[in-house]
Structure 1
Amino acid sequence: MNTLIKPIASMFFLFYLGFELQAQTDEKVLETIYKTALTNGQSYQWLDHLSNKIGGRLSGSENAELAVQYTKSELEEMGLDKVWLQPVMVPKWVRGLQEYAYIESVPGEQMAVNICALGGSVATPGNGLKAAVVEVKTFEELAALGTEAIQGKIVFFNRPMQPDLIQTFDSYGGCVDQRYAGAMEAAKYKAAGVIVRSVNLRLDDYPHTGSMSYGDMPVEQRIPSAAISTNDAEKLSALLADNPNLQFYFKQSCQQLPDVQSYNVIGEITGSEFPNEFILVGGHLDSWDLGDGAHDDGAGVVQSMEVLRLMKLSGIKPKRSLRVVLFMNEENGLRGATKYAEEAKRNGENHIFALESDAGGFTPRGFSFQAGDNNYAQILSWQSLFKPYLIHYFEKGGSGADVGPLKSDTNVLAGLRPDSQRYFDHHHAAIDTFEHVNKRELELGAATMTALVYLFDKYGIVKEERLKPVMD
């Protein structure tokens, strides 16, 4: 008898709680959301499993598939209306044996340095690559030197992140091109290989990986590309100033294998009034392989899962259909995001709002929005609701790579913006690990995302006025 009474009592409690919430102010609903997240959160436990039981989740890897199955089962445990896997073909790049490198100032004197292959790079020859070094900071400097000065040498891109920019993502954007396109540019001048300063504001011994591209360059013309730690970049630059003829050696055995099938993981609470209007919240399930992907983007994954859980626990019955999407292959291809957007378009799905968390699990500061003026005015009217939680940053700007393909003329996209000052210390490096995520900060981020989703679900989006053409 008790087994029957308990679920019925629970159902009536949730119904009552939902009725009570309808009569509450938005301030009170947000208070319930934050209280629930901080006293009965699940995101930290999920992240512990993703990080410590599974680990780094490079697209196409066994760990990535373990993460797919784990998050799917957890979403099913939440009692959502729908949970499913969306197939997507992803690239499979493998790092191989640990990379090795040294600086040789004089023959026989070797100084070991810390490097890692960049994602998508080809391997060095089996015995490694040893050559003289040319240091540059920009592609313009590279072009000015030309083939005669570069041919057969290793190009060392040594442009640091700009330290005086408060928005560290702006600093990242100012130098990441050398990582992504450095090998493609250097190969034009017949360079033998490329070493790139890690994209990191801190001076340390950790090389930071990340995606790179050869464009449409024939395979036989591709040259190996690796990142060097910031401490060792400083060391190499100083030694080059004293001895421009020094030699650099590195060896890596990475390779690109044929594409394999993976999945986006999707869960849904179907809307009670407008089931054909979709609100999406998500992060990317894949990560690089050096750490365990706790900040990038395990944090965004578990926060997004937690949004739907907190909505249910807080007794909020959404008007619109809420989806959590755990995208596969953001790091080296964006295949999951592209596939999801293609399927959404093919099915005629109306995504009125999409929110991504992909900036780490640090203290939330607010959001950046891609929105028209009318919708942005509505968003700003909610800003005061977040100020008791010290959430002050509401600005127009980028949203997230995975939700970007969903942008239309009428909808709104957003990105959670945590404090970013420490993010690039961990980004794509071996220290992107679980112990560097603070439980309370992670839970505050999940609550903040849930609060914004609640408001968009309650009020919807505003129709944007189209400018009429001026008639002569």
Structure 2
Amino acid sequence: MRNILFLLSILVSISVTAQEDADNIKKIYSTSLTNGKSYEWLDHLSNQIGGRLSGSLNAEKAVEYTKEELEKLGLDKVWLQPVMVPRWVRGAPEFAYIETSPGKTTSVNICALGGSIATPSGGIKANVVEVKSLDELETLGKEKIEGKIVFFNRPMQADLINTFEAYGGCVDQRYAGAREAGKFGAVGVIVRSVNLRLDDYPHTGSMSYGDLPNSQRIPSAAISTNDAELLSNMLGLNKDIKFYFSQHCQQLKDVQSYNVIGEITGSEFPNEYIIVGGHLDSWDLGDGSHDDGAGCVQSMDVLRLLKESGIKPKRSIRVVLFMNEENGLRGGRKYAEVAKAKGEKHVFALESDSGGFTPRGFTFDCSDAVFNKVLGWKELFKPYLIHYFEKGGSGADIGPLKDDNIVLAGLRPDSQRYFDHHHAANDTFEHVNKRELELGAATMTALVYLFDKYGTETITDKTELKD
């Protein structure tokens, strides 16, 4: 009888704790949806500041603005962490056309890839070689490539439901295309925009020459998907057409910028750190609302929602707005470097860098044992239609923190529209839905609340919930 009573007391305790968690999470969602700040902050970042390319004046303004807003929240600490970042500038707008015969041209939409060199002042005009992969480039060799513009035209794989997998399957041509084509004597590179939709927006993104000598470095630009289709079709009819493009970008000296950090100090384990964040920099074509203004303001609101919901964290919770994810990852590396130098114990890190669309769940980079325990929390998220708990990648900026003692996670919103806007001029505030953004902020806050309450060693399944 004594053992039965003891078991009953444990079951009652579990049920009460589960209900407490459900109530706190409900409060978090209610607060975000009725009194959220993320949309207001994003409005300012997007419409009053705009695109925030690393090293730019707008990036500096974003640092100042977010620091001021975090200070208004009454956090225990807010500070700037210095980090040197690259400064690449686009210069005058790019221009390109397809020439089918002397004087007969069709204008097309291009944009320089981040990190590319400029064309000569008069631009470049040459015949075009279309390829679908870096391997095909190597097969053709110098004889068929030298003196020509290489056109990489491998589209995202449309039948992959995970659009990030489709992105990963073709982004190598953007990142390394100019480096590889330059080795064979190409004079320029044009890359199909990494976008599932057919439209007129060229999508930029980072590229690298690696250790290629300056003499072999060639300008690289993205072309819109509509115009990639046009160029491919025209090449199918006439291999002798020429392509012209001009761009005026420059790589300048590194400049100092900052990660923006705010903290609520833990009440029981102040030397154990949980971080939540996104990257404050963006590309310059749009205003960076989805990539990654959304992740920044959601992360800021995590700390505010905890305070508004009356939750006092046991562990220290930090929001980190990383600088220079897009073309260097220096903010993420600097944060990890400083944390390691100080001997800080980070137990959990969550990143939002997949857009401000409807949240579906999370991916976790952790041991099987921890993941199996985290699965016990799925029931708490089901009322909010959050069902996706999978092992997988987390986020670029928190990746440098990885070791055997930390759990890394990434917020996973619905990704079907993300690459329509990614790195393009239509990544703007009007394409962010207020309710979806606020649901994402609440979802992140709920997961942070659970990791803070239970840590990573004492997580227990919470599957018996009451309505």
Please report the TM-score for the alignment, with normalisation by the length of structure 2.
0.94
**Alignment coverage as a number of residue pairs:** 444
2:107 equivalent among 93, 109, 112: 112
2:326 equivalent among 315, 326, 331: 331
* 2:451 aligned partner, one-letter code: F
Gaps of 5+ in 2: 1-15, 460-467
1:272 aligns with 2:275: no
1:443 equivalent among 434, 438, 444: 438
Percent identical residues: 76
Tell me how far 1:96 sits from its aligned partner.
0.1
- Alignment match, 1:122: 117
- In the alignment, is the contact (CA less than 8 A) between 2:183 and 2:216 conserved in 1? no
Distance 2:100 2:229 in 1: 15
Deviations 1:243-266 (A, max 9, x none): 000000000000000000000000
- Alignment match, 2:59: 64
Q: Cα 1:28–1:463, aligned 2, differ >3 Å: closer, same or farther?
A: closer
* 2:191 aligned partner, one-letter code: V
1:387 aligns with 2:367: no
- Alignment match, 2:13: none
* 1:102 aligned partner, one-letter code: Y
* 2:41 aligned partner, one-letter code: W
Runs of 4+ aligned structure 1 residues displaced above 4 Å come to 21-24
What does 1:338-353 align with in structure 2 at a 5 Å threshold? 338-353=333-348
Distance 2:269 2:372 in 1: 23
What does 1:418-429 align with in structure 2 at a 5 Å threshold? 418-429=413-424
- Alignment match, 2:94: 99
Deviations 1:163-201 (A, max 9, x none): 000000000000000000000010110000000000000
What does 1:20-419 align with in structure 2 at a 5 Å threshold? 25-419=20-414
- In the alignment, is the contact (CA less than 8 A) between 1:282 and 1:356 conserved in 2? yes
Distance 1:395 1:316 in 2: 27
Q: Cα 1:24–1:381, aligned 2, differ >3 Å: closer, same or farther?
A: closer
Tell me how far 1:377 sits from its aligned partner.
1.3
- In the alignment, is the contact (CA less than 8 A) between 1:294 and 1:433 conserved in 2? yes
Tell me how far 1:217 sits from its aligned partner.
1.3
Which secondary structure state, in structure 2, belongs to the residue aligned with residue 382 of structure 1?
helix
Distance 1:23 1:34 in 2: 17
Distance 1:183 1:386 in 2: 45
Tell me how far 1:463 sits from its aligned partner.
7.9
Tell me how far 1:218 sits from its aligned partner.
1.9
Tell me how far 1:410 sits from its aligned partner.
2.0
Distance 2:164 2:18 in 1: 41
Distance 1:194 1:463 in 2: 53
Distance 2:257 2:19 in 1: 43
- Alignment match, 2:3: none
* 2:452 aligned partner, one-letter code: D
* 1:202 aligned partner, one-letter code: R
Q: Cα 1:462–1:23, aligned 2, differ >3 Å: closer, same or farther?
A: closer
- In the alignment, is the contact (CA less than 8 A) between 1:101 and 1:248 conserved in 2? yes
Distance 1:399 1:140 in 2: 29
Tell me how far 1:22 sits from its aligned partner.
8.7
Which secondary structure state, in structure 1, belongs to the residue aligned with residue 270 of structure 2?
strand
Distance 1:410 1:263 in 2: 27
Gaps of 5+ in 1: 1-20, 465-472
Tell me how far 1:216 sits from its aligned partner.
1.0
- Alignment match, 2:454: 459
- In the alignment, is the contact (CA less than 8 A) between 2:201 and 2:425 conserved in 1? yes
**Larger CA deviation: 173-182 vs 370-379:** 370-379
* 1:217 aligned partner, one-letter code: L
- In the alignment, is the contact (CA less than 8 A) between 1:410 and 1:463 conserved in 2? no
Distance 1:238 1:175 in 2: 20
* 1:252 aligned partner, one-letter code: Q
- In the alignment, is the contact (CA less than 8 A) between 1:369 and 1:396 conserved in 2? yes
Which secondary structure state, in structure 1, belongs to the residue aligned with residue 425 of structure 2?
coil
Distance 1:410 1:320 in 2: 15
C-alpha root-mean-square deviation of aligned residues, in Å?
1.2
Distance 2:82 2:398 in 1: 18
Tell me how far 1:462 sits from its aligned partner.
1.9
- In the alignment, is the contact (CA less than 8 A) between 1:101 and 1:114 conserved in 2? yes
Tell me how far 1:220 sits from its aligned partner.
2.5
Please report the TM-score for the alignment, with normalisation by the length of structure 1.
0.93
Tell me how far 1:24 sits from its aligned partner.
5.8
* 2:36 aligned partner, one-letter code: G
